[in-house]
Structure 1
């Protein structure tokens, strides 16, 4: 980012981008990716869409039947932007933490932060105080907009200097009450296309979250590649899905793609498979984003559900088993669009739709992207031979002040950490994760992060966490714990402790106490024995929730 052209007054994000020689190669050859130098993606998603379709089209829907039009959404976004800048003192470049369940207000806050030139940092409503404190520290966050129902852990995080403004509450200082008194419209800040727009955090294999910085042009690029060329939405589509806006999978599927197409999205606070399926029928949803786990669960509850409006089903977040693809197709007649994306690259970069789908494969490089399979030295391997997936396109990995940048980007390519095989026709087939990341029900869970939380208990001496294959979830988190000498720590007590430390999806589903962890003669932990259940002599069966 050129500091001479940036609109950011607070230059923290730009100052902590990786050095230019550590960036991946970027591709903008695809027509439609030649963005102007000055670009505010909030203005593009709202103002340009209103110019094309008018103010009266539905933008967001809620389960109770409420509809927010594009005109109403833009008005709310403008008013929140006024509050941010006039009442709260936010200046362009400030990072603003956003926290709450998936609602139109949370989406409006995200758009308002970018409209005002800020950097949006959307976190999960389930994340606990320690996790929030770490994110706030890494990103140097000074402002937070938080759903009043999700304040507790954010307050407990006790982030120095953090100004928290609630929305949806009772007080006169509630964000929405303040917004009622602000004028509109708000002129979008004249940001540069390469100003940082958002920081999305993803768990790292070392346990410390990685902040992935994405630019204003990146936000549009994922909509102008995967969405435009593979998903191909229509203005009358109704989107819905299970991933929250704290996941870039959900941000794209529920905000970026529908707004870019002039369509609408049904935003669900509770979006588990049992809530999702009846919502699809009741609201005539036509485009669905969710993980393979949800498709597997919904298969057992399809009877009596009217899915006649559904025409697009997208799966990402974990590998889609071929049996799940065929079972869904047989029951619904719909072909699931499989895909692989990454927080580092914002959204999906390998996929296929319609007649191009080959069940059992992830698909082809999305138009605008390139992909190949390489060895550990970065050399391309022959078709049919497994290797590391390497991709490049209009979006690339840019970690926030993190030396792992040099691991993810090598030789100009982004290495996703997945083992893949490419066949002779150019289709990419998933083999396995190349690292110790556990993918459970679409969530990326770093084993070391869970281990760190276990070790925060005063009676835990050692801990090791691995993933174990699970038919329903893809994998489950399994923890092996060595108690301190003399400790009588129980499984129930340790589970209660973990629930207070981590988001629920990160807490171990299987927990075993061992007298010692299996190690080599040199002291190296033998994780392969734990993955295979060879926990050591004398260990009992894993405890279950």
Structure 2
């Protein structure tokens, strides 16, 4: 084994004094100093004789815990033997939700690497920014998503390894691990070694990378699921969020495995496929976004979902109407929650005993929260203000002292959301504090969409805002000033939309294009977005 260690992530962490205060004062949150999070998530099931239990199902395949363990160990052996990998290297995964994704995820951590999981929709431009920012050395990529990956030419990237997430063919990875040992000694990471880097939604310009430790991965398994889900080994989890989102990673991998349950993965999870899976595979726990719950409600009468016991919504605020319609159709209460990439997972939510419909909930086991004004002082009951949170996890931006000081103030994480807190201590969502557009569960930064639009040859100026939308929560709407204003019209609008989908992740494209002669601005030249929202 190579004894050199890549210290990039550790050296890029914010100074301790800039990090939030952590609250570990509960036996649930005590871990040994040496911890590789794969041990309590995967290896323990083999050690304790549960290897034959199902870990992952898809519509086409079944993996036991033993299958997953063997595959992860083979990939870890390959990484170390054949690819020039050293511990501490950042390794990107580009794939839809499938068992091979999960095997690669565990393998990287077993080998002492740091996982950067991404969403399949990202394009070359966004991938390049991530690879450059995190100095990523290796990539595991599903060959079906190879087109954009092949366009990346970042000097940091030493090796791209292709696999087949559909398990139909043998790509480079499958061939390379065929003869590898299924035994592997996990790298001796510490509980405060970086295990994964999550990119927040702004991935053009200089993105923000948040680092989470091995202990954080296990800490969140002791928090939200214990508080809201009470998982049991016979539970079957499913959902729609990509594993590149920490919401999806927790709900579809970490939580089921920590409690010895199983997960059902769907590569392209439409509402119909979710309902089909729930009916056929007796799913008990489902994670998805409010947009999907709205559509599921209209179709649920055609399916038997009697096995379902827990419904979780996150990614954007859950409208009261969606909650009520689902409850009236099924008798099930949707558990709403708010999390953040910076916090790793959900920190305010509810369970069936303490739910107040319409409210996001209360701080869960392991967290506390308050509402503060611009100066950090607590505001009176029911008055809107900035949400401040602290607990077992917290924000650590790599190489971004400026942003770290904005997000962490006086030891508290300031999430950028506007909430109010009622007399009983329940937290109610009011608005996003910044220009983040949350559409169908995707976080889309307005500035990011503008940056892409401004590269179009016809566009002189633009501003992007989120407009309320019944179906998606918010719509991305672009106001555009053309270089040649006579060209304005629906045809050019459509052409701009199609062009955008080619050059950036399609889910970010402006669903409304409105042409203007000029944009409203302040005397100092700042665009007045609030006027456009009206």
Q: TM-score, normalised by structure 2?
A: 0.96
Aligned to 2:494: 492
Please name the residue that 2:211 is paired with: 213
SS at structure 2 position matched to 1:511: strand
Distance 1:339 1:8 in 2: 42
- Compute the RMSD of aligned alpha carbons: 1.7
Whole-Å separation in 2 of the counterparts to 1:161 and 1:415: 33
- State the Cα distance separating 1:440 from its structure 2 match: 0.7
In structure 1, how many angstroms separate the alpha carbons of the residues matched to 2:97 and 2:190? 29
User: What is the rounded CA distance, in whole Å, between the counterparts of 2:171 and 2:252 in structure 1?
Assistant: 29
Partner of 1:131: 126
The superposition leaves residues 428-469 of structure 1 with CA deviations (integer Å, 9 ceiling, x where unpaired) of 111111111111111110011111101111221111111001
Cross-structure match for 2:315: 317
Could you say which residue in structure 1 is the equivalent of 2:23? 27
TM superposition shift of 1:204: 3.5
1:208 positional shift: 3.6
**Partner of 2:152 in structure 1?**
157
Counterpart among 69, 72, 78 of residue 77 in structure 1: 72
Render the CA deviation track for 1:149-169: whole Å, top value 9, x for unaligned: 011111112222421000019
Q: Find the partner of 2:521 among 519, 522, 535.
A: 519
2:388 is paired with a residue whose SS is strand
Given that residues 53 and 262 in structure 1 are in contact (C-alpha distance below 8 angstroms), is that contact kept between their aligned partners in structure 2? no
2:164, 2:438 → 1: CA distance?
33
Superposition deviation, residue 302 in structure 1: 1.2
Q: CA shift at 1:51, angstroms?
A: 3.2
1:399-418 matched pairs, under 5 angstroms: 399-402=397-400, 403-418=402-417
Q: Deviations over 1:258-310 (max 9, x none)?
A: 00000000000011223222222121110000011100011111122000100
CA distance in 1, matches of 2:205, 2:369: 28
> Structure 1 residue 37: deviation in Å?
0.5
8 Å Cα contact 2:131-2:156 kept in structure 1: no
- SS, match of residue 76 in structure 1: helix
Matching residue of 2:82:
87
TM-aligned CA distance change 1:404 to 1:205, over 3 Å: farther
Structure 2: gaps (5+ residues): none
Q: Distance in 1 between matches of 2:452 and 2:218?
A: 37
Flag the 1:275–1:172 CA change in 2: closer, same or farther, 3 A: closer
Residue 509 of structure 1 deviates from its aligned partner by 0.5
Pick the aligned partner of 1:294 from 292, 295, 303: 292
- Contact residue 250 and residue 345 of structure 2 kept, 8 A: yes
Distance in 2 (alpha carbons) for counterparts of 1:367 and 1:32:
10
CA contact (8 A) 1:286 1:309 kept: yes
Q: Give the match for residue 38 of structure 2.
A: 42
Counterpart mapping for 1:115-194 below 5 A = 115-162=110-157, 163-168=159-164, 174-194=172-192
TM-score (normalizing by structure 1): 0.94
Moved more, 142-151 or 223-232: 223-232
Shift of 1:48: 1.8
Alignment map for 1:253-402 (pairs within 5 Å): 253-402=251-400
Match of 1:111 among 106, 111, 115: 106
Q: Which residue of 2 aligns with 1:60?
A: 56
1:355 aligned counterpart, secondary structure: coil
Distance 2:496 2:381 in 1: 47
Measure how far apart 1:322 and its partner are: 1.1
Deviation at 1:514, TM superposition (A): 1.6
Return the alpha-carbon distance in structure 1 between the equivalents of residues 36 and 373 of structure 2.
39
Unaligned runs of 5+ in 1: 1-6, 533-545
| Distance in 1 of aligned mates of 2:46 and 2:518 | 63
Asked if 2 retains the 8 angstrom alpha-carbon contact of 1:466 and 1:527, the reply is yes
CA distance in 2, matches of 1:297, 1:304: 13
Residues in 1 aligned to 2:327 and 2:310: alpha-carbon distance in whole angstroms: 12
Is contact 1:462-1:482 (8 Å) kept?
A: yes
Using the TM superposition, give the Cα deviation of residue 184 of structure 1 relative to its aligned residue in structure 2, in angstroms: 2.1
Per-residue deviation, 1:240: 0.3
Shift of residue 43 of structure 1?
1.8
Deviation of residue 8 (structure 1)?
A: 7.9
Cα distance between partner residues in 2 of 1:473 and 1:132: 26
Question: Displacement of 1:172 after TM fit?
Answer: 7.3
Q: 1:295 to 1:207 in 2, by over 3 A?
A: farther
Q: Of the candidates 1, 7, 13, which is equivalent to residue 11 of structure 1?
A: 7
Contact 2:164/2:171, CA 8 A, preserved across alignment: no
Give 1:522 shift: 3.2
SS in structure 1 opposite 2:24? Answer: coil
Task: Describe the SS at the equivalent of 1:302.
Answer: helix
Residues 497 and 79 of structure 1: CA distance in aligned 2, closer, same or farther (over 3 Å): same
Q: CA deviation at 1:381?
A: 1.3
Q: Does 1:421 align with 2:420?
A: yes
